[in-house]
Structure 1
Amino acid sequence: MLDKLQNKTVLVTGGAGFIGSNLCETLLSNNIKTICLDNFATGKKENIQPFLKDKNFKLVEGDIRNLEDCHTACNNVDYVLHQAALGSVPRSIKDPITTNDVNVSGFLNMLVAARDANVERFVYAASSSTYGDHEALPKVEDTIGKPLSPYAITKYVNELYADIFNKSYGLNTIGLRYFNVFGRRQDPDGAYAAVIPLFVKQFINHESPMINGDGSFSRDFTYIDNVVQMNMLAITTTNKKALNTVYNVAYGDRTTLLELTELLKKHLSDFDDTIKNVSIKHRENRVGDIPHSLASVDKAKKLLNYNPKFNINDGIKEAVVWYWKNL
């Protein structure tokens, strides 16, 4: 699949982050020239430390809010995998201005820089939050509701800008609506840590995880390897009908938060049997959270030949091994 990228250069923005570093790792393991742009606001230098000695790897320390940094990073680049963003619904509610600056102004800077550099394709991280208050399941790409948070607005604006840049300037884009991605290198620390690494760390420390609500809310949890597969398909596809649109990136199944905690207990107990006795606590639902999320991945399967290999159980099993070794 990645043969066509030989002698090409791929820029990964946010390449020191959770998803970005996994993309860099895959590209480098296939001997592909890789540039990482990161300001280390949320990315971690240890995520890319192993790559620094690779002759195919180049680090550009810069901020997507600075157009000059974007132009520098895009110089002589063939493909862009744009992952740089300020995630988290709660963070966007607390600080909508910074979220907008990074996710909208920064995104626009990257589009301009990619256009000016005559980049062949611009693949970007979109979000399942774009579905907003649309209640029907599964989520199908063509039908969305009203956004429920500043973060969701910014990610929808990304899709609108990408569409306009294709129509106005001929820049080929693909948006990937991520659904609750988890796996190796996802940070368990900080006020806005994602639920799976946070719960894993708490279980390892024999602390009771705190579930928002009664635990019946469900998500289409998506293992990182499925996400990497979709990104690679998006930059290598030769199907012109697959370009200039958006895709759900998920497994296509949903798991409640209570079911998730039981899975985590099950696989963590392989390392520490006492974890199965750790209790669960509950608190009020969080503002901006949707009750249920489930993706249809039919479009990605049809147009990109997407074939997710990891269901929630297999993904959790892999992730837990990584966390046990690295926490």
Structure 2
Amino acid sequence: MSKASKRVLVTGGAGFIGSHSVEQLLASGYNVCVLDNLSTGKLTNLPHHDGLTFIKGDVCDLQAVKDAMQGASYCLHLAAQVSVVRSVEDPSSSAQQNILGCINVMQAAHEAGVNKLVYASSAAVYGNPRHLPIAETSTVCPLSPYGLEKWVDEQYAALFHTLYGLPSLGLRYFNVFGPRQDPKSPYAGVISKFFDCLIRKTSPTVFGDGRQTRDFIFVKDVARANIAALTSSHQGVCNVATGNRVDLLALLSLLHGVTGNYLPAVHLPSRDEDIRDSQGDTQRSRAWLDIQPQWTLNEGLKALYTATSETHAA
């Protein structure tokens, strides 16, 4: 069966990671159906392409998911409530989207007989790690409802495989950044927030001392991992990371160099739900997905700066 005859359902496909994944799927010759409620995604994120179908719908609506899943060979489940902060503020709503929505996708995928379900998990499942880098076998101890929700999704995926034979692979994303990550959202990633502040020539906000470290991975590398996972023979969970880490003050220094705006950070108290240090072990992703990140942090920052500057100029 050719790629052109294979259909991939991408839930949340109009969002940040989803739209980049859709672009790469289409470029690889797949037909793509996007299911998105447009609560955070945007139709403008999606390309005009004969191989693309869009359905407005919510993963919390089981029938809508079943309808969209019909004829799909693969499913990439990215629709989610992605904010740690929001999950703390409204855990009930967050769980509805991230647990019930994921179960609906798994049920629909099983009933439709898809070849593989790939779903977004998160490094948030680990909490504060005892050792770095963090391997998939590390202790799971989430600090937020969001992290717990993602871990619950992983347990459901394992159970669906045991009960129904549904093949799945959960990708534990570390800190993803890149174009189309909305800096105006109060729940945006730190890099998009920093960039937006520096371009507007206002001081960025740092919670705590700024020495907390993160493993930042460019969104196009994440999209490559998503697509590789669809046809991987492996099941379970897999980190999607670079294997490197940088602290937030060093990150801000890099952003100063990229933007040419040297504005000091404003420090606020640290937040209980924030993880201190994060760095992913990439051995499994190299072995299971046969890929390595192609973008360095600085290359990704420059690409994001170009895209962000164009947005501000528009």
Class of the TM-score when normalised by the shorter of the 2 chains: over 0.9
**d(CA) in 2 for partners of 1:324, 1:4:** 39
1:225-264 → structure 2 map (5 Å cutoff): 225-237=220-232, 240=233, 243-264=234-255
The alignment's TM-score, normalised by the length of structure 1, stands at 0.93
Q: What RMSD in Å do the two structures reach over aligned CA positions?
A: 1.2
Question: 1:224 is matched with which residue: 219, 226, 229?
Answer: 219
Question: Which whole-Å deviations, capped at 9, do the CAs of 1:25-47 have from their partners, x for residues lacking one?
Answer: 11122332100000011112221
The yes-or-no answer on 1:11 pairing with 2:9 is yes
| Equivalent runs, 1:126-141 vs 2, <5 Å | 126-141=121-136
Instruction: Give the deviation of 1:233 after TM superposition.
Output: 1.0
Shift of residue 147 of structure 1? 1.3
1:268 matched residue in structure 2: 259
- Give the match for residue 286 of structure 2: 301
Partner residue of 1:319?
304
Which blocks of at least 5 consecutive residues in structure 1 are unaligned?
A: 270-274
User: Residue deviations 1:266-294, cap 9 Å, x none?
Assistant: 1112xxxxx12x22111101121110000
Q: Which runs of 5+ in 2 are unaligned?
A: none
Please identify runs of 4+ aligned residues in structure 1 that moved more than 4 A: none
Q: Tell me if 1:181 matches 2:176.
A: yes
Counterpart in 1 of 2:117? 122
Equivalent pair of 1:251/1:310 in contact (CA under 8 Å): no
Q: Distance in 2 between matches of 1:4 and 1:261?
A: 45
Which residue, 97, 120, 124 being the options, matches 1:102? 97
Aligned residues: 312
CA contact (8 A) 2:175 2:216 kept: yes
Alignment equivalent of 1:28, drawn from 26, 29, 33: 26
TM-score (norm 2): 0.97
Change (3 A) 1:150 1:139: same
CA distance, structure 2, for counterparts of residue 208 and residue 133 of structure 1: 28
Contact 1:166 1:244 in 2 (8 A): no
Secondary structure at the counterpart of residue 147 of structure 1:
coil
The 2-side partners of 1:88 and 1:4 are apart by 37
| Counterpart Cα distance in 2 of 1:60 and 1:226 | 26
Contact 1:217 1:256 (C-alpha < 8 Å) held by counterparts = yes
Question: Which AA in structure 2 matches 1:261?
Answer: L
Which of 288, 292, 296 is 2:273 aligned to? 288
Kindly indicate whether the alpha-carbon contact (under 8 Å) linking 2:128 and 2:276 is maintained by their aligned counterparts in 1: no
Q: Secondary structure at the match of 2:226?
A: helix
